[in-house]
Amino acid sequence: MKILLASSEAVPFAKTGGLADVCGTLPYALAELGHEVGVIIPAYRAVWCAGKPIRPMGLEFIVPVGSKTVSGQLLEWSGEVPGVTYYFVRQDYYYDRDELYTVHGQDYADNCERFVFFCRAVMEAARLLDFRPDILHANDWQTGLVPVYRRTLYAHAPEFQRTACVFTVHNMAFQGEFWHWDMLLTGLDWSYFNWQQMEFYGKLNFLKCGFVFADAINTVSPRYAEEIQTPQFGCGLDAVLRSRRDVLRGILNGIDYGVWNPATDPEIARNYDADTVREGKPRCKAALQAEMGLPNEPRTPLVGIVSRLTYQKGSDLLVAVLPQWLTRENVQWVILGKGEPAVEQQLLDLARAFPHKLCVRLEHSEALARRIQAGADMFLMPSRFEPCGLTQLQALKYGTVPVVREIGGLADTITDCTPETLADGSANGFRFAGEDGESLSAALRRACEVYHDAETWYRLVRNGMLQDWSWRHTAPQYESMYRETLRRLYLDADAR
């Protein structure tokens, strides 16, 4: 199959979150299955900093955006394995900026215009490249108009007559809502602005557009696919998703073990695998303690957190329980991330009060994240909702035992440590169900109790390290979804 994957970000070029990891690694797994994959993203300023040999293709296009006509260029980088090519939409007024979506924490005022243009550019790129995709795979709200354009303005384009459109939602909380007059930017007839299609409580909603017009929908874990059909997790769009449940599925994200592997990671103090973890991980822990200014205490549990410091990630629960843990428990903490200013300040205040137990780094650093994964004993994720989560999968590979809330992809990937799951070898972490600090603390206490039983702890560590959460297992599920969607569309087309 020919697959054109459209995203607002993808590693190694532009990243604000897990969307970039998925859209930069899934294509390689699909290529290994024999498919030809193109990845198309905007040519942000960050793209030029990636150090890759990007070349102009000599292909230009002009599309209407509201009352304007806007030109763009296509650039190209051949990926690191045959079968994967990256394409970039260059339009410097829209994309030559310091950040991808925001300035000083506020959304760019023209984000609607920027991504209307990008969605039109995706369609034009497919025509100019003569790629003729079997699958147009759009991701999150920024590409939510791609399925709309496929079914409307480009419905009769010869390049797309045998093309199915798949839409993946990575996080329901981000929907791309804009005031109703922005409908004029899309070039679509106002008749589409109704409650069954593009309108949502008087606004234009890009995410809803993707759900309504796509041929198939998926999200990034089976549990989350069920959750988003409920009012609690559907963010107002649960009824839309229930109406499309027949074409909705959940497929777990994978991680790239060529990138996340303690046996080869150049950033950590000592490389190790499941057979040498008892020698290698203590060295990494000592190095992390030294780097963070924490006492070298080999038998003191060290809890690592790498996360956005936001309500979604349960940071309010964290700051509620931390004072008790810092005053009463012999546990060290290392926290890496940025987020809500109030949470950041509370954590900094606690770090100043307990410098020998807590270190906080308010930054984004993949190198430090790797050292935390290698050096911590436990990895805490108290998320209020979690579509899939990648960091718990990375933690498992690095022998760092996850302590997670039983939600979304965390529930799909972490099996609670009990005598039964230890006996059958499935245990790989600790789970808690409650949305309160006491539930979180109870799970951490259980983890600390097992930690002090070294033999049981290393059984748990080894279980996690030997599990395979790579794309090798999940990419075939995308392949199956693509084929089923094409088969269904071909049957419908032939019936007509």
Residue type (1 letter), 218:
N
- Range 117-139 average pLDDT: 95
Instruction: Report the share of the chain in percent with pLDDT over 90.
Output: 96
Q: What is the pLDDT of residues 52-111, one digit of tens each?
A: 999 999 999 999 999 999 999 999 999 788 999 999 999 999 999 999 999 988 999 999
Architecture of domain 277-468: 3-Layer(aba) Sandwich (3.40)
Does the fold of domain 277-468 match that of domain 2-254+472-495? yes
**Would you call 265 helix, strand, or coil by DSSP?**
coil
Instruction: Of 417, 483, 424, 425, give the one whose Cα is nearest residue 446.
Output: 417
pLDDT of 121: 98
Contacts of 232 (CB under 8 A, 6+ apart): none
What's the CA gap between 474 and 30, in Å, rounded? 10
Please tell me whether the peptide bond between 12 and the residue prior to it is cis, using omega within 30 degrees of 0: yes
Q: What is the pLDDT of residues 187-212, one digit of tens each?
A: 999 999 999 999 999 999 999 999 99
Confidence of residue 133 (pLDDT cuts 50, 70, 90): very high
Q: What is the DSSP string of 145-212?
A: HHHHHHHTTTTT-GGGTT-EEEEEES-TT---EEEGGGGGGGT--GGG-STTTTEETTEEEHHHHHHH
Q: Are 2 and 133 in contact (CB under 8 A)?
A: yes
pLDDT of 494: 57
What's the CA gap between 381 and 256, in Å, rounded? 21
pTM of the model: 0.94
Q: Are 182 and 198 in contact (CB under 8 A)?
A: no
Residue type (1 letter), 49:
C
Distances (CA, A) of 99 to 13, 22, 46, 92, 167: 12, 20, 8, 13, 25
Q: What is the pLDDT of residues 268-284, one digit of tens each?
A: 999 999 999 999 999 99
Fold entry, domain 2-254+472-495: Rossmann fold (3.40.50)
pLDDT of 489: 87
- Angle subtended at Cα 301 by Cα 298 and Cα 304, rounded to the nearest 5 degrees: 115
- Range 224-239 average pLDDT: 98
What's the CA gap between 363 and 347, in Å, rounded? 13
In the predicted model, what is the mean pLDDT of the chain?
96
pLDDT of 492: 66
Q: What are the structural domain ranges in the chain?
A: 2-254+472-495, 277-468
Instruction: Of 381, 369, 377, give the one whose Cα is nearest residue 317.
Output: 381
For residue 442, is pLDDT > 60? yes
Q: What is the pLDDT of residues 169-192, one digit of tens each?
A: 999 999 999 999 999 999 999 999
pLDDT of 493: 56
State the Cα torsion 183-184-186-192 to the nearest 10°.
Answer: 50
What's the CA gap between 389 and 461, in Å, rounded? 19
Stretch (H or E) spanning 30: helix 18-32
pLDDT of 80: 81
State the Cα torsion 228-244-412-316 to the nearest 10°.
Answer: -10
- Range 244-249 average pLDDT: 98
Instruction: Report the share of the chain in percent with pLDDT over 70.
Output: 99
pLDDT of 490: 82
What's the CA gap between 285 and 296, in Å, rounded? 9
Stretch (H or E) spanning 42: strand 36-42
What's the CA gap between 318 and 437, in Å, rounded? 7
Task: Give 65's Cβ-side CA count (13 Å radius).
Answer: 21
Gyration radius from the chain CA atoms = 23
pLDDT of 158: 93
Q: What is the pLDDT of residues 293-328, one digit of tens each?
A: 999 999 999 999 999 999 999 999 999 999 999 999
Instruction: Of 360, 426, 429, 418, give the one whose Cα is nearest residue 395.
Output: 429
Confidence of residue 495 (pLDDT cuts 50, 70, 90): very low
Strand duo 203-205 + 177-179: pairing: antiparallel
pLDDT of 496: 47
